[in-house]
Each structure stands twice: as C-alpha cells, then as structure tokens.
Structure 1
Amino acid sequence: MADFDDLLAANRDYAEKFDDGGFDGVAHAGVAIVTCMDSRIEPLAMLGLGLGDAKIFRNPGGRVTPQAMEALVLGVHLLNVKRILIVPHTRCAVASNTEAELRAKLAESAGQDASWLHLHVVDDQVRALAEDVAKVRSHPFVPEDVKVGGFIYDVDTGLLNQKV
C-alpha cells in the first residue's frame, strides 16, 4: 500500500480544493481527441480547453484502434462530440523504432523474450494519420457533419500541424 502514498497524499490535496464536481459528462466544447499516451502531451491545454470540454482517448502512437473508434462513436452520439482531432506527435517511440527494436528494448528491460509480442509501430506517420482520419470519416456511425482532422503535435514547440 505504501507504494502509492505520495500519489494518494497529492490526491487528498487536490480533493480539498476540488470544486468541479457535478459535470454532466458531455464534451462541452464538442471536441474529441485521439492522441498518444506520451506524458509530454497535455490534450486540453494544447487546445485552450478545460475540464469538461473534450473527450480524450490515449494509446501508444495516437492511433484509431477499435477501442478508440468505439469511444468516438459513443462521443458523437451520446456526448456532444462534433469535432474529432487525431493527434500523433513528433519523436514518438512507436514511430521512430521498428517493431524489432522495440521488442529488443522490452526484452532487455523485462529480462525475458519479447519476440512473440505484437507492437503497433508506425513506419509513416502522415500515411497512418491519413488512414485513421479516413477510417473515422467513413465509419457508418460517424455522421458527415462531424468534422475530423489529422494533426501532428510537436513535442518541442507545442504546436499542432494539420496534415489531413
């Protein structure tokens, strides 16, 4: 239990000042973001948004996986999402390593064979981004009036660059 004491103490401090309860759970700015799990990305802050404004789905590489697509469909139909941003980023581990390189790094770190592990690397971020945008735009549960854009976030400048 002591492994989390620092985080639980920080949470108690957070909760003492917390006055954002009572939100209804919809995306008040009508935005959904699919982005990478990278800790250099602050999805709300990078768009000038705040708590309750957007639905956020994160995974390695910021890809539109089946789980991300499920979240987007729910967001569009139940949570006020009208605009979807797909946002991978510069210097991403899954876009700057081969699957073999990542497996080797994992094997070294874990001390066990990782050759069987499937990792979703991206060999061309712009092409993968275009594919993901097309996947969302063509989904039967994403209406045509929902705007979908593909952007690359620069982790060194904080800027978004629209690619699709």
Structure 2
Amino acid sequence: MTNAAFDDLLSANRDYAASVDVAGFDGIARAGVAIVTCMDSRIDPLAMLGLKHGDAKIFRNPGGRVTDQALEALVLGVHLLNVSRILVVPHTRCAMASSTLEQVREKVSASAGQDVSWQTFGMVADQRAALADDVHKVQAHPLIPEGVEVGGFIYDVDTGLLEHLV
C-alpha cells in the first residue's frame, strides 16, 4: 500500500534506518528516566535533557498531564523498564493552559465543520496547581515506590530552559 502523502516521511525513515543501530535493543530506559510532557512540537524531550535514543520513556498528551494512561505507562516504566526518575513537564504558552474549553471547541468546530460540544478536552485553568496535583498523583500511586524520584517542571518554549517547580 502506498500513499504519496507519506512519501517524504518514508524516504526520511529509510535514511534514518540506514544510519541507526536499533537491532537487539531491549527497550529499557538506559538513563532511568520517564518524561510526561505535552504533544507540542516545540518540545524535543530527549534533547532538552541531554539524553539520546533509548535513555528515556516518553509519554505525550495535550497539556502534558498525568492521565490514567500516563500513570499506566509510568507504572510499567518503573517496574519493567528501569525507570527511577520521573519528570512531569508542561510548557509555557500551551494552548491547553491559555485557552478556555469554549475557545478550543469553537476552533475545532470551525475546522471540523460540525458541532463538537460533546468532545472533552483537558483544559488547564492553573498550570502550576495542575503540575503540583500531577506530581502528587504520581507520588501517591500505590504502584510507584517511594524511592522513585518525581519532579515537576515547566519547559519554556522561548528559551529552552526547564524550571523545577515541584
């Protein structure tokens, strides 16, 4: 099956595959790091921490929130994939934190050409409070051992710097 819409990406993938050695990699987090962050394309989770391929487990979603799915990934990471440090990293100028639910629904409705009032989006009214709640949610989870370090950070999309808040 081919689709010209993906040709550039498949070509880039062939170049990548020719230059990277991933054979036999066991999938553990070599640096013992897991990152929960936003899907925003301004964030390069590995590069921002000086890590490389295979060093970390990365879970991304709108807003960089610790959802049930993120918690599931973190539990698996801690118990099966060598994770001993967890970073929760939302970012500045995030649409999920700077827009209202109504604004996002309006934009999506306009783009989709249909009513999306039924669609939920995880808007963040207070990013710092949400970050503190998310870090606590990870720390309080019965399957995340006390020895696992959990930190809450804000990534500044304009400077590339992390600020340790929690």
TM-score normalized by the length of structure 1: 0.98
Identical aligned pairs, as a percentage?
A: 71
The answer to whether the aligner puts 1:76 opposite 2:83 as a matched pair is no
The answer to whether the aligner puts 1:128 opposite 2:163 as a matched pair is no
Count of residues in correspondence between the two structures:
164
State the SS of the aligned residue for 2:63.
Answer: helix
Moved more, 34-43 or 6-15: 6-15
Aligned counterparts of 2:20 and 2:162: Cα–Cα separation in 1: 30
TM-score normalized by the length of structure 2: 0.97
Amino acid at match of 1:56: I
Aligned counterparts of 1:39 and 1:33: Cα–Cα separation in 2: 15
Aligned counterparts of 1:85 and 1:163: Cα–Cα separation in 2: 11
Q: CA deviation at 1:23?
A: 1.5
State the SS of the aligned residue for 2:70.
Answer: helix
Q: CA deviation at 1:3?
A: 1.4
Aligned counterparts of 1:116 and 1:24: Cα–Cα separation in 2: 41
- Structure 1 gaps of 5+ residues are none
The equivalent position to 2:67 in structure 1, one of 62, 65, 68, is 65
Runs in 1 of length 4+ with deviation above 6 angstroms?
none
- Structure 2 gaps of 5+ residues are none
Q: CA deviation at 1:21?
A: 2.5
The answer to whether the aligner puts 1:107 opposite 2:109 as a matched pair is yes
Aligned counterparts of 1:139 and 1:150: Cα–Cα separation in 2: 16
Q: CA RMSD in A?
A: 0.7
Aligned counterparts of 1:106 and 1:72: Cα–Cα separation in 2: 30
